[in-house]
Amino acid sequence: MSTAPDETATTTTPARDTRKIAGALLRYRVLAYATGIWLLVLTAEMVAKYIFGVEDLPSWIAIVHGWVYFVYLILTMDLAVKVRWSAKRTIGTLLAGTIPFLSFFVEHQRTRQVKAQFGL
């Protein structure tokens, strides 16, 4: 009796795990877009405030982006654990929510990769 893991077990994913991955991917995608949008709003606020000198801007935009980004971090980690991303890929994906427009690009790349890898 061999103690080596079955090679087919590493290339195929049970249907139950595929459903969990699909759900985690959907949650990640929604939060990646929400984080990106709120980061763009925050950037626009900073430009208006510090470059154009606009007064009386809402002070809650940074707080909303912070909380959305926090949830993005949690849901990205959930997906990373389920699909077994490397630490480098996980950290890069986590940091994508801090640079304007990058979360949209990284979301597209990660979604393509996960869908291809797990047949979603």
The amino acid at residue 48 is A
pLDDT in tens, 4-55: 444 434 455 566 688 899 999 999 999 999 999 999 999 999 999 999 999 8
The two three-digit tokens of residue 58, written as one number: 């809402």
Residue 81 pLDDT grade (very low, low, confident, very high; cuts 50, 70, 90)? very high
pLDDT in tens, 23-33: 999 999 999 99
Per the CB < 8 A criterion, the answer to whether 83 and 117 are in contact is yes
Mean of per-residue pLDDT scores for the chain:
87
Model confidence at 73: pLDDT above 80 = yes
Model confidence at 115: pLDDT above 80 = yes
For residue 97, what pLDDT is reported? 87
Model confidence at 99: pLDDT above 70 = yes
Task: Give the C-alpha separation, 40 to 53, whole Å.
Answer: 18
Q: What is the pTM of this model?
A: 0.81
Mean per-residue pLDDT, 113-117:
93
Model confidence at 72: pLDDT above 70 = yes
